[in-house]
Amino acid sequence: MEEGQPLGWFEQLYEKADSESVPIPWADLVPNPNVVALFDERGIKGEGKLALKVGAGLGDDAEYLDALGFEVVAFDISPTAVRLARKRFPNSRVEYLVADLFQLPEAWRGRFDFIWESYTLQVLPPDLRRKAIGLIPGLLAENGELVVVSRARSEDDPEGEMPWPLLESELRMLERVGLDCLSFEDYTDGEAPPVRRFRSFYRKASDHLSGSSPGKPP
């Protein structure tokens, strides 16, 4: 990440990966297995519901939501990522959009029945991460649900290198901006080498009208 460019490097990385045909470090080209496991456990189906994929990358997670029956909006700050996702899934029903989480359309506020966030918060520096955590609940419709998966650390662990593992206290902020936590797991996944992760699942509290504003149109 270049100094003073906490968001600009994503497009640079996708552009370089595309032009030089090198792999993108986080793009496994399959739906995130940590989230798929939660979908399976909870028997989540999407018929009649609108889902949002945050930081959609090359599109595998968004396509998985589509396969579950959701209508899907998937956005990424990188125009190249969005172009590549559309190219990989040319007949997709998913609406792939270039958008910045910090400047989303006002019309998205309170619109989504389901939001999937995996691995985007952990590539944001702490100030932007906290801002993002404050924004995401405002995008949910009443009773809307959110899944978040990230790397995990304890308060006394070193911050480490990017992708920076999250603290439980950072995710607990979601419960102060209008979400009920339905499950919170702190576990080690089956990757080699294994990674400690948080996987949490929320529902928008019906008596809470809004989180923070998602901001102005891009």
Ligand X SMILES: C[S@@+](CC[C@H](N)C(=O)[O-])C[C@H]1O[C@@H](n2cnc3c(N)ncnc32)[C@H](O)[C@@H]1O
41 or 100, CB closer to ligand X? 100
47 or 114, CB closer to ligand X? 114
- Name the one range near ligand X by CB under 6 A: 39-47, 75-83, 194-202, 208-216: 75-83
By the rule CB under 6 A, 17 interacts with ligand X: no
- Ordered DSSP codes for 89-108: STT--SEEEE--GGG--GGG
By the rule CB under 6 A, 200 interacts with ligand X: no
By the rule CB under 6 A, 37 interacts with ligand X: no
| Member of 32, 34, 150, 200 binding ligand X (CB under 6 A) | 32
| Member of 55, 59, 144, 215 binding ligand X (CB under 6 A) | 55
By the rule CB under 6 A, 26 interacts with ligand X: yes
75 or 198, CB closer to ligand X? 75
By the rule CB under 6 A, 7 interacts with ligand X: yes
- Name the one range near ligand X by CB under 6 A: 84-92, 115-123, 151-159, 196-204: 115-123
Q: Which residues are at the interface with ligand X (CB under 6 A)?
A: 7, 10, 26, 32, 55, 57, 75-78, 81, 100-102, 118-120, 123
